[in-house]
Protein backbone atom coordinates (compact mmCIF):
# COMPACT_ATOMS: atom_id res chain seq x y z
CA UNK A 1 0.00 0.00 0.00
CA UNK A 2 1.40 3.35 -1.00
CA UNK A 3 1.37 6.46 1.16
CA UNK A 4 -1.27 7.93 -1.19
CA UNK A 5 -3.48 4.85 -0.79
CA UNK A 6 -3.16 5.01 3.01
CA UNK A 7 -4.10 8.71 2.98
CA UNK A 8 -7.11 7.93 0.79
CA UNK A 9 -8.16 5.17 3.18
CA UNK A 10 -7.82 7.59 6.10
CA UNK A 11 -9.83 10.27 4.30
CA UNK A 12 -12.66 7.93 3.38
CA UNK A 13 -12.78 6.48 6.89
CA UNK A 14 -12.91 9.94 8.44
CA UNK A 15 -15.71 10.97 6.08
CA UNK A 16 -17.74 7.91 7.10
CA UNK A 17 -17.00 8.44 10.81
CA UNK A 18 -17.92 12.13 10.63
CA UNK A 19 -21.11 11.35 8.73
CA UNK A 20 -22.14 8.87 11.44
CA UNK A 21 -21.51 11.45 14.17
CA UNK A 22 -23.56 14.10 12.36
CA UNK A 23 -26.44 11.71 11.77
CA UNK A 24 -26.32 10.69 15.42
CA UNK A 25 -26.54 14.35 16.47
CA UNK A 26 -29.39 15.03 14.05
CA UNK A 27 -31.31 11.98 15.27
CA UNK A 28 -30.89 13.09 18.89
CA UNK A 29 -32.19 16.54 17.94
CA UNK A 30 -34.98 15.20 15.69
CA UNK A 31 -33.52 16.98 12.64
CA UNK A 32 -33.54 16.12 8.95
CA UNK A 33 -35.83 13.13 9.43
CA UNK A 34 -33.16 10.91 11.02
CA UNK A 35 -34.29 8.53 13.75
CA UNK A 36 -32.23 7.01 16.53
CA UNK A 37 -32.59 3.65 14.81
CA UNK A 38 -31.16 5.17 11.61
CA UNK A 39 -28.28 6.63 13.59
CA UNK A 40 -27.53 3.30 15.25
CA UNK A 41 -27.46 1.55 11.87
CA UNK A 42 -25.08 4.16 10.42
CA UNK A 43 -22.89 3.94 13.55
CA UNK A 44 -22.70 0.16 13.17
CA UNK A 45 -21.54 0.61 9.58
CA UNK A 46 -18.87 3.10 10.70
CA UNK A 47 -17.68 0.68 13.39
CA UNK A 48 -17.55 -2.03 10.72
CA UNK A 49 -15.20 0.20 8.76
CA UNK A 50 -12.87 0.22 11.76
CA UNK A 51 -12.54 -3.56 11.68
CA UNK A 52 -12.04 -3.68 7.92
CA UNK A 53 -9.41 -0.95 7.88
CA UNK A 54 -7.54 -2.43 10.82
CA UNK A 55 -7.46 -5.77 8.99
CA UNK A 56 -6.22 -4.10 5.81
CA UNK A 57 -3.45 -2.22 7.62
CA UNK A 58 -2.38 -5.30 9.56
CA UNK A 59 -2.29 -7.58 6.52
CA UNK A 60 -1.00 -5.29 3.79
CA UNK A 61 1.26 -3.00 5.77
CA UNK A 62 2.20 -5.41 8.57
CA UNK A 63 1.21 -2.80 11.15
CA UNK A 64 0.74 -4.35 14.57
CA UNK A 65 -0.61 -1.09 15.96
CA UNK A 66 -3.24 -0.67 13.23
CA UNK A 67 -6.09 -0.34 15.74
CA UNK A 68 -4.25 2.56 17.42
CA UNK A 69 -3.78 4.26 14.06
CA UNK A 70 -7.47 3.99 13.15
CA UNK A 71 -8.51 5.12 16.64
CA UNK A 72 -6.29 8.17 16.13
CA UNK A 73 -8.06 8.92 12.86
CA UNK A 74 -11.43 8.69 14.64
CA UNK A 75 -10.14 10.92 17.46
CA UNK A 76 -9.20 13.60 14.89
CA UNK A 77 -12.77 13.63 13.55
CA UNK A 78 -14.33 13.63 17.01
CA UNK A 79 -12.12 16.50 18.12
CA UNK A 80 -13.02 18.50 15.02
CA UNK A 81 -16.76 17.88 15.48
CA UNK A 82 -16.72 18.14 19.27
CA UNK A 83 -18.65 14.90 19.63
CA UNK A 84 -18.01 11.17 19.67
CA UNK A 85 -19.78 8.27 18.04
CA UNK A 86 -21.96 6.20 20.37
CA UNK A 87 -23.48 2.80 19.79
Per domain, the residue ranges of the chain are 3-81
Q: What is the mean pLDDT of residues 67-71?
A: 94
Task: Give the number of other Cβ atoms within 10 Å of residue 21's Cβ.
Answer: 24
| Cα–Cα dist 64/62, whole Å | 6
pLDDT in tens, 14-59: 999 999 999 999 999 999 999 999 999 999 999 999 999 999 999 9
Q: Under 8 Å CB-to-CB from 34, ≥6 apart: which residues?
A: 23, 26, 27
Are the CB atoms for 65 and 72 separated by under 8 Å?
no
| Cα–Cα dist 67/38, whole Å | 26
Amino acid sequence: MTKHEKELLKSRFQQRWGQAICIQQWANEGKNGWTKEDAKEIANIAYGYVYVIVDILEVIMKLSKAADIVRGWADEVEEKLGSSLEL
